[in-house]
Amino acid sequence: MSFPTSFPHMKPDEVEILKRYLSSVAPPGTWTIDYRWPMTDREVPQDLVGGARDMFVATHQKRSEAVCVSGSTVWIVEVKPRVNSSALGQLLNYRDLARRVFASNYNIRMVCVAGADDSLVSPSLRAQGIEVVIV
In the CATH scheme, what is the code of domain 12-36+63-134? 3.40.1350.10
Distance (Å, whole) CA 67 – CA 69 = 7
Can you tell me the mean pLDDT for 68-92?
A: 97
Considering just the CA atoms, what is the radius of gyration of the chain in Å? 16
For residue 97, is pLDDT > 90? yes
Residue 6 clears pLDDT 80, i.e. is over it: no
Confidence grade of residue 13 (pLDDT, cut at 50, 70, 90): very high
Stated pTM of the model: 0.89
Please tell me the predicted confidence (pLDDT) of residue 41.
86
Rounded to an integer, the average pLDDT of 98-114 is: 94
pLDDT band at 4 (very low <50, low <70, confident <90, very high): low
Contact by Cβ (8 Å): 132, 77? no
